[in-house]
Amino acid sequence: EVQLVESGGGLVQPGGSLRLSCAASGFTFSSSWMSWVRQAPGKGLEWVAKINQDESEVKYVDSVKGRFTISRDNAENSLYLQMNSLRAEDTAVYYCASFPLYYFAYWGQGTLVTVSS
């Protein structure tokens, strides 16, 4: 059974940093593209970033470019999202998802990030 479990969310002040983690199991993580998707409260889905198997290809939505960094540790079957210079508009549930062929096959349960003073 595929499992994706996010952690690391919480309350942070504007300008602060947070690191999200996603623990993967039940599939060959090291062979999979992975991605982060977020959803602001009461809003729709927004793709945030994606990364290929060996970290040689990464891509970000324009609104987080230069502030967020996606990375992975294949030995630990883990995906990460380092978020710096956080803004109120980054408040959202952040989902980790497998991204095999340009779609999101499996999703985690999400972790809530709240940016507020």
Partner 1 sequence: SYVLTQPPSVSVAPGQTARITCGGSDIGSKSVHWYQQKPGQAPVLVVYDDNDRPSGIPERFSGSNSGNTATLTISRVEAGDEADFYCQVWDHNSDHVVFGGGTKLTVL
Give the residues lining the site for partner 1 (CB under 8 A).
35, 37, 44-47, 50, 59, 61, 95, 101-110
Nearer to partner 1, 17 or 28 (CB): 28
Rounded to the nearest whole angstrom, what is the least distance from the CB of residue 60 to partner 1 in the complex? 9
Nearer to partner 1, 30 or 63 (CB): 63
What is the C-alpha to C-alpha distance for residues 36 and 60, in angstroms, rounded to an integer? 10
Rounded to the nearest whole angstrom, what is the least distance from the CB of residue 41 to partner 1 in the complex? 12
Rounded to the nearest whole angstrom, what is the least distance from the CB of residue 67 to partner 1 in the complex? 17
- Phi, psi of 9, deg, nearest 5: -70, 170
Rounded to the nearest whole angstrom, what is the least distance from the CB of residue 25 to partner 1 in the complex? 16
Nearer to partner 1, 17 or 25 (CB): 25
Nearer to partner 1, 42 or 117 (CB): 42
Judge residue 75's burial from the number of C-beta atoms within 10 Å of its C-beta, 0-12 exposed, 13-18 middle, 19 or more buried: exposed
What order of strands is seen across the sheet that includes strand 3-7?
Answer: 3-7, 18-25, 78-83, 68-73
Number of helices (H), then strands (E), in the chain: 0, 10
Amino acid in the structure at residue 116: S
